[in-house]
Amino acid sequence: MRADYLRTAGDLVVGAGTISATMRGALAGIEPTGKSFELPFACHWQVHDGLIAHERFFFDFHWMCEQLGLSTDEAGKRFTEWREVA
């Protein structure tokens, strides 16, 4: 992860950068592809007493799937099912 910036305003922290990873393990029931991806991201954190209380993480799901060789539709279904169980 490379952070391009972090800004604070009270209990809100906002940041953006680039995340790089390789899919070496299963995620949301999707078998690992062994492929790597690199994506820009943005994130908002609500911090209370020095701890992250809430996080919103924004990235391009389609671009990640394309780099990993995954069907966006199938991966989207798997992530939806995974979130419903979690």
The per-residue pLDDT for range 1-21, each reduced to its tens digit, is 999 999 999 999 999 999 999
pLDDT at residue 85, rounded to an integer: 87
**Cβ–Cβ < 8 Å for 32, 26:** yes
Q: Where are the domains of the chain?
A: 2-85
- Express each pLDDT in 19-69 by its tens digit: 999 999 999 999 999 999 999 999 999 999 999 999 999 999 999 999 999
Q: For residue 74, give the nearest of 18, 21, 27, 4 by alpha carbon.
A: 27
pLDDT surpassing 80 at residue 86: no
Which phi and psi (to 5°) does residue 4 adopt? -85, -35
**Where does the chain have alpha helices with state H?**
61-68, 72-85
The whole-model pTM stands at 0.82
Could you give the count of Cα atoms lying within 13 Å of 74 in the half-sphere of its Cβ? 10
CA 8 centroid distance within chain: 21
Q: Which CATH architecture has domain 2-85?
A: Roll (3.10)
